[in-house]
Structure 1
Amino acid sequence: MANPRLAPTAHPSGAASPDVIVEVRDICKHYNDVEALRDINLDFERGKLTTLLGPSGCGKTTLLKIIAGLVPATSGQIRINGKTVTGPGPERAFVFQDFALMPWATVLRNVAFGLELKGVPQAERNRTARHYIREVGLSGFEEKYPHELSGGMRQRVGIARAFSVNADVLLLDEPFSAVDEQNRRKFQEDLLQLVEKERKTFLFVTHSIEEAVYVSDRIVLLSPRPGRVSQIIEPAIDRSAAPDVIRRDKSYLDVVEEIWQGLRQYAE
């Protein structure tokens, strides 16, 4: 496994590369007198998984929601496929930390709901929903309700719903924070399989350094509030290796330690 590559934190002006799907330009965010984000400039490449990592309160989730169009920026611009974001759009799907499932709807209805909103015929949307329910390992639970599922299973429903709408960009806000460590590791491995199979662009928020290094093509480190891009790391991980081999590899452990040394001063 090669050493990680440190990518530049600054981005050149002008047109984005054809490989870039999400452009973040000069994003600032204030909540009244609190400055949450300052001058964020980032490009996100197609088919890659990028993790936003940093101390609590650094604006990771705020930035993710601005990209999703769920929260307006105070200043700056987000472009998806070259078009300026003015709100939520069909090219983006958001997986919430608290699942955000409809408690009165079955798993099948929850997963198919985005397609229902788009006017997709019932037979087609149910066929698509069943496919992604199977992909996330929930076959047989189609007619169950959220209260009948574990936290990890409810999160799988949220992920299946995001995939079902065929969005170009998947935004995941700490999707595995509610599950135990054993299931968390299994979800990480499942996520990497979905990344490989679906070829979507993933923007991922986590508090876990180990998780970020394990799943990411690129890690964006944000500074304490106001959040700014402090460093970008590209772990060079051999994804063909077995999970237990990766997690014991010296290069993997060295990147985890490097990031921890950079963030430990901000630990409470």
Structure 2
Amino acid sequence: MIAAVMTRPREVAPVAPEASVEVRDLCKVYPTGTEALRGINLTFPKGQFTSLLGPSGCGKTTLLKIIAGLVPATSGEVVVNGRTVTKPGPERAFVFQDFALMPWATVLRNAAFGLELRGVARSEREATAKHYIDQVGLAGFENRYPHELSGGMRQRVGLARALAVKADVLLLDEPFSAVDEQNRRKFQEDLLQLRQVENKTLIFVTHSIEEAVYLSDRIVLLSPRPGRVSDIIEPKISRERSPEDIRRDPEYLDIVEDIWRGLRNYAD
């Protein structure tokens, strides 16, 4: 007979989330001599929503575009899914602040354009585009043109296009800044719902403290130019409640106020 040996359970260290995007000692100096970013070291965990927040001119959009491969770094590197970024790639999709739609193309073709560039067959790319057009609330508008849409609807087309390419990382540059407050809040709620379905890594540039706290798992605060990481905040807000309850939650309001106190000296 084998005697049972009683041992104390071994403590298991928590497993850190897998990194989807790593930014390593990144610096950016423009040809004019303007130093936009200095010594940025960040990890964006897979499947998490991270907002970049800071005063105007601190390099938020520059950092986002370097991650996208649209702008080269002066030094340092960005690694996405284990590969160094040297140019745009299929694992990343960018949602522009100004919509960047083709005015002569329908909603359907705009939403399918990324797939068209990849050589996906027309029937397949249109089926995929229609799925995401429906997901962003534009079913029935497939044959409309951008000039026939409101600003909010055009931004939804841009989001559908980014989702259609099924990239792992979604990069959003102030996507809701051109819409009114009512539509902005609706977009925020829609984005949280889409995130639950799509499970993507989202990196989101915003000037709104409230928006960052409402949406994010993590908020990266950047200092005034040259942008450096000044703080990382994890709101830890339960979103299993109505949007109204979240926005009235004392913890939510306290985090908003704490961030504002840290940024108020940098306000124009």
Q: CA deviation at 1:33?
A: 1.4
* SS of residue in 1 equivalent to 2:62: helix
Q: Which residue of 1 aligns with 2:19?
A: 20
AA in 2 matched with 1:21? S
Q: How does 1:32-111 map to 2 (within 5 A)?
A: 32-111=32-111
AA in 2 matched with 1:25? R
* SS of residue in 2 equivalent to 1:127: helix
Q: Which residue of 2 aligns with 1:124?
A: 124
Q: CA offsets, 1:200-233, max 9 Å, x none?
A: 0000000000000000010000000000000000
CA distance in 1, matches of 2:160, 2:239: 23
| CA shift in 2, pair 1:18/1:193, >3 Å | closer
CA distance in 1, matches of 2:17, 2:56: 33
AA in 1 matched with 2:130? R
* SS of residue in 2 equivalent to 1:25: strand
CA distance in 1, matches of 2:232, 2:195: 20
* SS of residue in 1 equivalent to 2:182: helix
Q: Which residue of 2 aligns with 1:241?
A: 241
Q: CA deviation at 1:18?
A: 6.4
Q: CA deviation at 1:173?
A: 0.1
CA distance in 2, matches of 1:190, 1:174: 15
Runs of 4+ aligned structure 1 residues displaced above 4 Å come to none
Q: Which residue of 2 aligns with 1:5?
A: none
The sequence identity of aligned pairs, in percent, is 76
Q: Which residue of 1 aligns with 2:3?
A: none
Q: Which residue of 1 aligns with 2:256?
A: 256
Q: How does 1:175-214 map to 2 (within 5 A)?
A: 175-214=175-214
* SS of residue in 2 equivalent to 1:160: helix
Q: Which residue of 1 aligns with 2:5?
A: none
* SS of residue in 1 equivalent to 2:227: coil
TM-score, with structure 2 as normaliser = 0.93
Q: CA deviation at 1:38?
A: 0.2
CA distance in 1, matches of 2:267, 2:80: 34
The answer to whether the aligner puts 1:167 opposite 2:167 as a matched pair is yes
CA distance in 2, matches of 1:146, 1:164: 18
CA distance in 1, matches of 2:43, 2:118: 29
* SS of residue in 1 equivalent to 2:197: helix
Q: CA offsets, 1:53-96, max 9 Å, x none?
A: 00000000000000000000000000001100000000000000
AA in 2 matched with 1:181? E
Unaligned runs of 5+ in 2: 1-15
Unaligned runs of 5+ in 1: 1-16
Q: Which residue of 1 aligns with 2:155?
A: 155
Q: Which residue of 1 aligns with 2:28?
A: 29
* SS of residue in 1 equivalent to 2:26: strand
* SS of residue in 2 equivalent to 1:93: strand
Q: CA offsets, 1:134-188, max 9 Å, x none?
A: 0000001000000110000000000000000000000000000000000000000
Q: Which residue of 2 aligns with 1:9?
A: none
Q: CA offsets, 1:12-36, max 9 Å, x none?
A: xxxxx66101000000001131110
CA distance in 2, matches of 1:39, 1:116: 38
Q: CA RMSD in A?
A: 0.7
| CA shift in 2, pair 1:40/1:151, >3 Å | same
AA in 2 matched with 1:197? V
CA distance in 1, matches of 2:164, 2:158: 10
CA distance in 2, matches of 1:18, 1:238: 19
The answer to whether the aligner puts 1:133 opposite 2:133 as a matched pair is yes
